[in-house]
Amino acid sequence: GLSGWIRTAQSERVHDHMMGLIHRQCIDMDLAFYETPEYFDHLHRARSEARYRPEALLESIGGLLQSSITLVAMFAVLIPYGPWIVLALVISTLPAFAVALRQGRRQHAWRLRTTADERRAWYHDWLLGAAEAAAELRLFGLGEYFQSSYQALRRRLRQQRLDLAREQGLAQARAGLVALLVMGAAMFWMVWRALQGQVTLGDLALFYQALSQGQSGMRSLVDSLGQMFVNMLFLGDLFDFLALEPQVVDPAEPVSPLLTGAVHFEGVSFHYPGSRRLALDHFDLTVPAGQIAAIVGPNGAGKSTLVKLLCRFYDPSAGRIALDGIDLRQLRVEDLRRDLTVLFQEPVHYSASVGENIALGDLETRAGEREIAEAVRAASAEEIVARLPEGQATLLGKWFRGGTDLSVGEWQRVALARAFLRDAPVMILDEPTSAMDPWAEADWLERFRGVAGGRTAIVITHRLSTAMRADVIHVMKEGRIVESGSHETLMSLGGDYARSWARQGAAGVLASV
């Protein structure tokens, strides 16, 4: 009836509100949080608890009120027979109360302890059903392997949960026995008085009724208190999650200049949280406004790290990074990021139309079909869009009905168009040609020069044939720049760059300078 409707409406609203808080927190947290398992544990719990804990707390409070009202009525009946009866009732439920508190605490602690396992089970569950893993699972025959890992984890969790429940059951039974003894004694005393003719049989019946109701009232009071306690513990954990503060924050007095896009790294050292190794080691780099700089270097040299620091996903442990001479930490984070456009090494494949995939590069300007078409042209993706059944409106990805998938290289071009849509003074492209065929790649940088149109650009690449056409090439190794100069300068220097060319030729991939 009506109350069912109210309950549903209320629980849906509470759920959506809590999810809103969690999402807000996900957006605001530092990137570093996404690299710590503890964060995911916390997020995992927050997500699963937010669904029902607030409502459960309300319910336990409701239960508490209800049983209190019953109890007051029963006590009123019992007190005339002697206040000690009420006292005995209260004392007889103390063990049950202690059991409820202890079990609540144990249940909560168990959940904290096993979140990692629970999440691992969830991970296997995800692998078994994910499109990303489906091909390898079949080819390497990994399905049963991951399934049995999942089952082993679930078995362990289930066993622990059952152990906990059994202990709880036993403890409750022991506490119940105490209550029963008290009740037996009280009844015994009353029967004895009836035999002596001090009370009537009617009194005896009423006493029995009140006593047993009083006791069941006390039981449900204790139950509600226990529930309330557990719900509060879990909600506390949820609020701890919501209270986590990001480290990368806006300055008190932000500077907001019109940037021209000169980039400086001065003696920047950085190691990832939880890692001792310096990903950047007294790193110096200057890219004057309007220059196209290529960064080359082996895997793990720190190329993507410098991009992440420039976006201020992290702050360096030493040194400073500046745009037009202004330390990044003096800029409002949002302003800084609006002045950058980045093609990340692994761009996101949004399950949305091609047009939307590109428009997401700049939601503020509300790009229309014309601007999107321009970005598509700049990224040399016209043919890709032209081939699609509904042009810009074609839904990409296989998540939703009617979606079309693209090849890896095609996705990369779409992501490039997204990066190009945003008109920012600094463009950073992390391996823009990695998935490009050699024909498309050959004169890519020349075409890009037209797109950049005098803006500052940092192009990270493993392809020497892309790098050679940049204004200046920086060779990175173990967190530092070891050589810088034009193609000709570096070739005549005879260092890492020249050796790489000699080894791998024009189409060379700079794998191991």
Closer Cβ to ligand ATP, 314 or 350, answer by number:
314
Q: Which tokens is 215 given?
A: 């006791």
Q: Which tokens is 341 given?
A: 């456009």
Angstrom distance (rounded) from CA 68 to CA 65: 5
Query: CA-based angle 295:296:297, to the nearest 5?
Result: 130
Closer Cβ to ligand ATP, 104 or 432, answer by number:
432
Closer Cβ to ligand ATP, 213 or 304, answer by number:
304
Closer Cβ to ligand ATP, 37 or 300, answer by number:
300
- Kindly state the smallest distance separating residue 127's Cβ from ligand ATP, in Å: 21
Query: CA-based angle 220:222:225, to the nearest 5?
Result: 110
- Kindly state the smallest distance separating residue 304's Cβ from ligand ATP, in Å: 3
Task: For residue 336, count CB atoms less than 10 angstroms from its CB and return exposed for 0-12, middle for 13-18, buried for 19 or more.
Answer: buried
Q: 477: Cβ–Cβ under 8 A, 6 or more apart, which residues?
A: 297, 298, 301, 496, 513
Question: 212 to each of 51, 70, 191, 207, how far by Cα in Å?
Answer: 36, 12, 15, 9
- Kindly state the smallest distance separating residue 301's Cβ from ligand ATP, in Å: 4
Strand 456-460 to strand 280-287: parallel, antiparallel, or no bridges (unpaired)?
Answer: unpaired
What beta strand segments (E) does 37-171 contain? none
- Kindly state the smallest distance separating residue 260's Cβ from ligand ATP, in Å: 26
Phi, then psi, of 423 in degrees rounded to 5: -90, 85
Closer Cβ to ligand ATP, 26 or 360, answer by number:
26
- Kindly state the smallest distance separating residue 279's Cβ from ligand ATP, in Å: 4
Angstrom distance (rounded) from CA 196 to CA 206: 18
- Kindly state the smallest distance separating residue 60's Cβ from ligand ATP, in Å: 42
Count Cβ neighbours within 10 Å for each residue of 476-513 and write b for 16 or more, e otherwise: bbebbbebbbebeebeeeeebbbebbeebeeebebeeb
Q: Is-contact 342 390, C-beta < 8 A?
A: no
- Kindly state the smallest distance separating residue 305's Cβ from ligand ATP, in Å: 3
Residue ranges binding ligand ATP (CB under 6 A):
35, 272, 275, 279, 297, 299-305, 345
Angstrom distance (rounded) from CA 151 to CA 154: 5
Closer Cβ to ligand ATP, 54 or 297, answer by number:
297
Helix (H) or strand (E) holding 268: strand 263-270
Phi, then psi, of 295 in degrees rounded to 5: -120, 125
- Kindly state the smallest distance separating residue 434's Cβ from ligand ATP, in Å: 9
Closer Cβ to ligand ATP, 413 or 463, answer by number:
463
Angstrom distance (rounded) from CA 208 to CA 161: 38
What beta strand segments (E) does 5-163 contain? none
Angstrom distance (rounded) from CA 250 to CA 15: 31
Closer Cβ to ligand ATP, 209 or 512, answer by number:
512
Angstrom distance (rounded) from CA 136 to CA 130: 11
Query: CA-based angle 424:347:324, to the nearest 5?
Result: 25
Closer Cβ to ligand ATP, 305 or 341, answer by number:
305
- Kindly state the smallest distance separating residue 37's Cβ from ligand ATP, in Å: 12
At 463 the three-state DSSP class reads: strand
Closer Cβ to ligand ATP, 92 or 500, answer by number:
500
- Kindly state the smallest distance separating residue 308's Cβ from ligand ATP, in Å: 8
Closer Cβ to ligand ATP, 394 or 484, answer by number:
484
Phi, then psi, of 111 in degrees rounded to 5: -65, -40
- Kindly state the smallest distance separating residue 272's Cβ from ligand ATP, in Å: 3
Angstrom distance (rounded) from CA 73 to CA 438: 87
- Kindly state the smallest distance separating residue 416's Cβ from ligand ATP, in Å: 17
Closer Cβ to ligand ATP, 279 or 385, answer by number:
279
- Kindly state the smallest distance separating residue 303's Cβ from ligand ATP, in Å: 3
Angstrom distance (rounded) from CA 206 to CA 364: 75
Closer Cβ to ligand ATP, 170 or 509, answer by number:
509
